[in-house]
Homo-oligomer: A and B are copies of this chain.
Amino acid sequence: MHAVDVTTPGGHYPIHIAPGRLDLLAQTIPADATSIVLVTNPTIDSLMGQRVHSVLSQTGKKIIRISLPDGEAFKTIETLDLIFDAMLEAKLDRRTVMVALGGGVIGDVVGFAAATYMRGVRFVQVPTTLLAQVDSSVGGKTAVNHPRGKNMIGAFYQPVAVEIDTDVLNTLPERELSAGLAEVIKYGLIMDADFFAWCEKNVNGLRARHPELLATAIRRSCEFKAYVVSEDERETGMRAYLNLGHTFGHAIEAGLGYGEWLHGEAVGCGLLMAADLSAEVFGFARADVARVRDLVQAIGCPTVAPRLGGIEQWVSLMLGDKKSEAGEIQFILMPRLGEAVRTKADPALVAQVIARNTV
């Protein structure tokens, strides 16, 4: 088993990564829990809901099951209210423990519900997509979307544990595997050129779902993320580097309507645009831009973004991202491969990069 420890001002907790972790979930429920709320969506529920329910039943505790509508479009305050309503109807108290079984949407919504139900109850993350395993389940960011922007309402709130069963990736759709790999290669780009090279070398094995390669990629990704959030829980400094590619990516997602592209697909394309802008701003090597393009393509993500309403709409969408401050777009860019900085950028260069990478 791989294990990673996460330490933040908001709490300390383990990430466990291994095949078969689902069968050990009962161990992660604190002994003093009064009840368990198992939250998932219909897709995951049909694949593994009953099995997880049976495992949790070993605790002897009352279990409430909630199935949320599937997809980013339902990552809303209204969906939160479905959870609150079910929990309040069942008269669950402050010592209930929530289990988020699903991808990033489930993790974010359940995490925020846990952060705010009776001002905070404990929860366990059980991410079932590669994207959630390497990114959203680690670090305590929880949120729902608002009609005016993605992840605008949320909280920093840490789980009591993250349980990653690599077996669940066997049933993951191809597109979602690719989307998850985009976040994996991002860690190489911002922190470790050697890991980026490891990804280049092993991209075919990763896409073929070689179990040990996936487990290694997940552990390394969780280590990078755990290191960053340990240093900076609330994204005042280094944590912002994790947003490499996200400013462009958010524009794609918001411009097309959430759910059209997967988040990881938009980030994958955004990584390439960030590399291109890094070349313009910092002289990031053009040969490395080509490596980024090749790897984004090799993992199966799009390498060309939609034109949307043109440059002006792109800029407006990027300004609406919550990483922007006082009307200025903040970019994460790379002076060289394996290193990130936060910076503003000349609007003319940004416009060039958008024009060059959209159709």
Residues of A at under 8 Å CB distance from B? Answer: 34-35, 77, 81, 84-85, 88-89, 91, 93-95, 112, 115-120, 141-143, 146, 148-149, 151-156, 234, 319-320, 322, 324-327
Contacts and interface: CB of A to CB of B under 8 A. Distances in A.
A320 B77 contact: no
B148 A85 contact: yes
B143 A325 contact: no
Given A81-B77, A84-B146, A319-B91, A153 B326 contact: no
B320 A116 contact: no
B34 A116 contact: no
A142 B120 CA distance: 11
A155 B319 contact: no
A286 to B, nearest CB: 34
B89 A148 contact: yes
Given A118-B152, A119-B155, A153-B117, A88 B34 contact: no
A116 B119 contact: no
B155 A120 contact: yes
Contacts of A81: 77
Contacts of A156: 119-120
A210 to B, nearest CB: 36
Contacts of A94: 322, 325
A152 B88 contact: yes
A66 B319 CA distance: 23
Contact of A115 (B85, B155, B326): B155
